[in-house]
Every structure is written in structure tokens, then in C-alpha cells.
Amino acid sequence: MDFPGFDNKPRLIVLAGDPDWCVERAIEAVGKQALWITASPLMKRSLIEWRGPAQARRLLGATTGHVVFDAHPDFDPDLFALTAGAIRGDCALLLLAPPLESWAERTGSRFLRRFIRGLRASPHPLLIEQGRGAEDPPSLSPPSPQTPPRPRSGEEALLDACLTRDQREAVEHILHVVRGHRRRPLVLRSDRGRGKSCALGIAALSLLEQGGERILVTAPRLAAVETLFSLLAALRPEGRATRGRFAWKRGEILFRPPDALVKDPEPADLLAVDEAAAIPAPMLEHMLANWSRIVFATTEQGYEGNGRGFAIRFRKTLDRRTPGWRDYHLGQPIRWGENDALEQFVFDALLLKAKPVDELAPAETIHFERLDRDRLIASEPMLSELYGLLIAAHYRTTASDLRQLLDDPDITVFAALADSHIVGVALTIAEGGLPAELDRQARRGERRLKGHLAPQDLSAHLGVVGACERRCLRILRIATHPERQRQGIGAALLRQVASCARASGIDYLAASFGADPELLRFWDKAGFRAARLGARRNAVSGLHSALVIQSVSAAGEELVGQALRAFREALPHWLAEPLADVEPETIIALFPASGDAPPLNRETQAALEEFAHGNRSLLATSPALWRLTLDSLESSRHRSELPILVMKILQKRSLTDIARTLGLTGKAEALQTLRAAVGQIIGKT
């Protein structure tokens, strides 16, 4: 019997029925030679090799044979896509699903309704349903053994190990980063299975062959680059290989976690960053600043940070810091064939290739709508445009975000449309509206309220009475078409959200995001004020999370006023600890410029003048400097002089640390710079 897919074999087999029936059919197809991914205790008993969902996430960057994926307890779209991307081209993914007729209905899931519609419409999956026709799956052959590349010496021989022209050109581009001009980073982009990680490994080994001493490799986790290190051992079996390290001749290739590189930059001939879209942007910027020869490699799929969102947003940083950077795309598959059936189905089912509309109508035709999500799944082009905007605007837009967008009952979708095409989108989620007792328990730290981020933060961290009782609408995401940015569409969307919220009895709006100065200024301009800064850096953004709020009712105005007063009083005391590592520009952006600072009293003015002229010590002037710094944060003047005052006076950082941060020669120059800044602010230079 012929099956659609790569090399005339089924690449995706769907077994839909009761769990026991699905397990029996799957064992018939693959025996016990497959990797099983399941959270079901019933299934685990009869299997040789299985992994729970958390363990299975280590497949990122790996290659595996047949996989049986159990969707009975729940369907995790991110894990499904990640798993599909790891399977070799001569192997299959067996999806065990509940009966399709009831799968979506029992949960009311729009996401699953669309997914099932795709299963039935696509010619690629082999669909076998319990009680419907033939129930015997094909018997799948064991995966063919993989032949490691034959080791040969010399750079040309290593280039011969490349399996496609794209991969060979990628290796040559990587080598040029090291041999060409400094500060010309390379961005490698590809879908899964195109050999970008192996290209990094071949290039790194070639550099060692030519006398290189140290190549650093980083990725979100070591498991993501195990393929790279396995290739090194296959190409040079006489090398010395340990976990995360390969030594050859006089050099070595070392894995370092991203946070370790940020804390302790090490010298290297090359820094290779794999799965770059899954690493927080501030960490990438730190790497860009500390290594002059660097390669960023990323995939263009959306289950571990989206590579196209990364490329669009990180491009601005590269243009600003290293305008000579280069970009290369690997398109030819290695792990499977061209137009692979499994890959294409996953792309379509999870919208991993979604992008904003190309042709845009004039800006004056834009209107705003609140979109019904049943309408979204009925219109594939509209859903793809909307989701494509989210991908382009955020590093971490994943397949699970698509499911939340379609299924979460508390989410509302607001859109800006130009000639029926989506050019802007805002997603909101309802929070608050809870009983007074829950508000009291949250405020006293006795209870964590899941799914109420903004009210919980205001209540537990600032002690705001009634924060959980009042109704809140939190903006989850806001995105504007790349060609329509800075035209007021985002601000207009927020006005639409505020208008609908006011009419619906909402008390206040909120948004939480990585505290980037530019983003803080955007929200401030839209009328939102900062009310919280997280004590730890967020694992996704790499930034401290900011919470901004805006009132839309009289009760909300009272609550927002209470929150802002509490935050302004507390923030200066938090800056020495735990917020001493926050960038001073971020601290400054938390304080909206509101006019001239109040006049200083005569004694404070005199002390500051003496300090500015070098006649008074830093210690003796500390109280006056504290007052000057706080007043200046509220002022619209002298913002450029404030960073050094924030670092020294509020964050209590040492002069040595300040000198290192600002690129000064040492403590003496840091103190001199501080005195000069004070002189500028008080008008006595």
C-alpha cells in the first residue's frame, strides 16, 4: 500500500480512539522500538522507553527515530512541534488522540476544532480511527543505522563533510567571521533539520585545525547542542570528548550557559550562539558587546522562541551596534526530504509560518474592531495575518500562544484593520472581580491567586486594598505591522481597549512586560504609569518585569493613585537591593518627566555646589545627593546626567563598578564624572 509522505512512507500516523486501543495499535506499528512521550501512568507500564513532557523537551536540537506522542491527557502544541522537528526523515510520528468526534467538543476548544479540521483535510497524515474502517496501522521498519561521517584531515576535507550546498556556504560564512574584519557578526537562519548546528560544529573544528585555541558555544541548554558535539567526536574520534567540551590539537570547543557568559565573559576566537531566539534579548546584546567575532544561529519556527520575530527585532540592535553584520538562510533540508509531509503539516496546523500581510492599504483607511474568535477560525487568512503580527513583534510567540488566543474564555481580541487586513492587534485578559476575602488573603501573602497577575502584584507587593476586588483588564500582547509602526496605531488600539473597558464596568487597565526603556516610554505616552518592578530578571525576556496601570473608572482612579504612591515611596529603597542590577536608563524611564524639579533649600544647594567643585566628600554630601537624585527623576530636565547618580546614590554601586559599566578608567574618573553631573544639574559647572 502506498502512503503519502517522504520516500513513500507515512510520516504522521494518527490513531484516534480509546487509550488502550491506541496503545495496542501503536505497538503493532512500531513494536517497542520507538520513543514514547506520555504523561499517562496507564501507558507507561507497558513501554520500554518513555519520557514525560518535561523530559521530552530535551529533544530540542536532537535527532530521534520513531516517536509515539500521547495526546490523551492533554495536547501540548509546543511539545508536539518540537517532537516533530526532531524525527528523522525515514521515521514516523504516531499521534495517539481521543476519538476525533468528541475531542474538541468535550473541551470546547477552537484550537482543537481547527487542528482536527486540518487532520481531515490534509492528504499527508494517515488517519486511523477506532470503529471506522480498517484499524491496522502499517508495520514500520526500525530506523536505519546512521553512518557517521568518515573522518579526514584538513579544512577542505571538513567542508566535504557538509551534506548540502547551503550547509557548506554557511560554514564558509562562519569562517569568514573569524578571518575577516572584526565586529561583523553573522546571523544563520533556518527551519529545523537544515544542518545549522552541524555547520557550527564543522566550522569550529576547522578553526581548531588551523591553530584556533578556544571556541565557545552557547544555547538555552546543553542538550540543544548535543548534535554538534556528537559530530565533533565522529569527525575527530581521536579528540578528547567530555560532556560540553571537545579538545583537539592545541585548542578546545566549550559549552557555556548564556547566564555564565554574561556573568564572566571569556576570551575566545569565536562565540557560536545556537537557538538564539530562545535566549533573552538582553543576554544577546551583552554577548554582542563583549565578543567581536560572533555567530547567532536560530530556527524560524515558533515552539522555542520564533526565529523570524528574533530576526526582525534583533536586526535593529545589529544595525545600531554592528552595521556590517551579515545574514544567511539555510533552506535545503538534510534530516528529511524537500516538502516533507510531516514538516508541512506541522507548519500549517500550528501556523509556524504565519506572517503579516504584505500589501497594505493607505493608513487613512484603518478602522478598529473587536474580533469574534469563531470568526477567526472560520477565516484562515485573517487568523494567519493576526498570528503573524504576534510572531513578528515578539521573540517568544509559540504554538501554545495560538491555543491560548483561540481558547482562553477571558481573552478579548482587538484589531486595527486596513481594507480588511489586520495591521495591529491587542489581546486582553480579564482579571480581578474577586471576593473581599480573597483580596485580604492575597494582600497578607496567605494565598496566591492563579491567573490574576496584575491584581495579585498590586495586592501582595504594594499592599493596595481592593486590587483583587476591582475589575482589571490586562493587555497581554500588543503588536503593529512593521511597516505601520510609529504611526499611532498602537496608541489608538489602547484607546479602543480603554473605551470598551469603561463601557464594560472595568476599573483599571494593566500591562506587564520586560522593563525596556523604550517600552516604558511607549506605555507612559499612552497614559499608563509604572506601579511595580519585579525583583528578579524574567527567564523569557531577561529583563525585570514592569507592571503599568491606568484607571478607567472613579474607583479605579482611587486604586491607581494608591498603587502609584506606594510604588514611588518603595522604589528608591529597593534599588540598592534587590534592584541594584537594573539598568539606570530603565530606572529613569520609570519616572515620567513632569516638569521642573522643586527648588532646593539653601543648605542643600550649598552642599551640592561644594561637591561639584571637589571641595566636599561624597559621604558628607550623601543626603543632599539623595534629595537631588529623587527630585531630578521627577523633572523633565538633565535626564542625560542622571544615570551615574542613579547607580551611585540609589543603587549604591561602587565607583569601580560604575567605571566598568561606563567605560571609564577607574574610581577617580567615575567620581569626577559624578561631580560633573551634579554641577550640570544644579547649573554650577
Read off the DSSP letter of residue 87. B
625 within a domain of the structure (yes/no): yes
Distance of CA 84 to the CA centre of its chain: 21
Task: Report if residue 378 sits inside a domain.
Answer: yes
Residue 545 has pLDDT above 70, yes or no: yes
- Residues 626, 570, single domain; the answer is no
> Is 313's pLDDT higher than 80?
no
Are 550 and 647 members of one domain?
no
Domain match, 484 and 536 both: yes
Question: Of the ranges 236-250, 306-320, 330-344, which one carries the lowest mean pLDDT score?
Answer: 306-320
CATH number of residue 413's parent domain: 3.40.630.30
Mean pLDDT across the stretch 503-531?
Answer: 94
**Residue type at 518?**
E
The least confident of 35-49, 390-404, 467-481, 527-541 is: 35-49
Q: What is the mean pLDDT of residues 593-603?
A: 78
Query: Taking the CA of residue 239 as centre, how many other CA atoms within 13 Å lie in the half-sphere pointing to its CB?
Result: 27
| Residues 492 and 613 grouped into a single domain | no
- Concatenated DSSP letters of 414-439: EEEEETTEEEEEEEEEEEE---HHHH
652 versus 334: the higher-pLDDT residue is 652
In a domain, 593, yes or no: no
In a domain, 586, yes or no: no
HEC-encoded secondary structure of 58-78:
HHCCCCECCEEEECCCCCCHH
User: In the predicted model, is pLDDT for residue 527 greater than 90?
Assistant: yes
Helix (H) or strand (E) holding 231: helix 226-235
Grade residue 603 by pLDDT with cuts at 50, 70 and 90: very high
Mean pLDDT of 461-465: 94
Over range 259-287, report the average pLDDT.
88
* pLDDT reported for residue 151: 55
Residue among 396, 452, 426 at smallest CA distance from 526: 426
What pLDDT shows up at residue 685? 44
What mean pLDDT do residues 44-71 have? Answer: 72
Q: Tell me the CATH number at 93.
A: 3.40.50.11040
**pLDDT averaged over the chain?**
87
Q: Is residue 513 over pLDDT 60?
A: yes
Q: What's the domain range around 49?
A: 6-129
Evaluate if residue 577 carries a pLDDT over 60. Answer: yes
One domain for residues 437 and 519: yes
pLDDT at 1: 27
With a cut of 70, say whether residue 371 has pLDDT above it: yes
Neighbours of 195 (CB within 10 A): 25
CATH of the domain at 260: 3.40.50.300
Phi-psi region of 60 (alpha: psi -120 to 50; beta: other; left: phi over 0): beta
**Strand arrangement, sheet containing 251-255:** 240-242, 245-248, 251-255, 214-218, 270-273, 294-299, 186-190, 326-330
Question: How confident is residue 42, by pLDDT bands cut at 50, 70 and 90?
Answer: low
**For range 126-137, the mean pLDDT:** 86
**Is 444 inside any structural domain?**
yes
Task: State the CB neighbour count (10 A cutoff) for residue 685.
Answer: 12
Domain boundary among 315, 330, 345: 330
Mean pLDDT computed over 160-185:
92
Do 305 and 367 have their domain in common?
A: no
The pLDDT value given to residue 501: 97
> Is 352 contained in some domain?
no
What pLDDT is recorded for position 5? 36
* Residue 288: all three cell numbers together: 554582542
Q: Mean pLDDT over residues 660-674, rounded? A: 93
**Average pLDDT, stretch 474-487?**
91
Q: Are residues 273 and 390 in the same domain?
A: no
Residue range 5-25, pLDDT digits in tens: 334 466 899 999 999 899 889
Number of domains into which the chain is organized: 4
Is 570 found in the same domain as 618?
Answer: no
Q: How confident is the model at residue 60 (pLDDT cuts 50, 70, 90)?
A: low
Report the distance separating Cα 517 and Cα 582, nearest Å.
Answer: 11
162 and 78 within one domain: no
Flag whether pLDDT at 150 surpasses 90. Answer: no
Are the CB atoms for 544 and 579 separated by under 8 Å? yes
In a domain? residue 260: yes
Check whether residue 233 and residue 283 sit in a common domain.
yes
What pLDDT, in 10s, does the model give residues 632-643?
988 867 788 999
User: Is residue 370 one of the residues assigned to a domain?
Assistant: yes
User: Are residues 294 and 381 both part of a single domain?
Assistant: no
Domain final residue pick, 510, 545, 580: 580
Predicted pLDDT of residue 316: 82
Say whether both 65 and 10 belong to one domain: yes
For the segment 177-206, the average pLDDT, to the nearest whole number, is 91
Which residue intervals of 575-666 are DSSP H helices?
A: 584-590, 602-612, 618-633, 642-645, 655-662
Any residues with CB less than 8 A from the CB of 10 and at least 6 apart, and which? 3, 4, 92, 125, 126, 138
The helix/strand/coil state of 646 is helix
Q: Residue range 441-447: average pLDDT?
A: 90
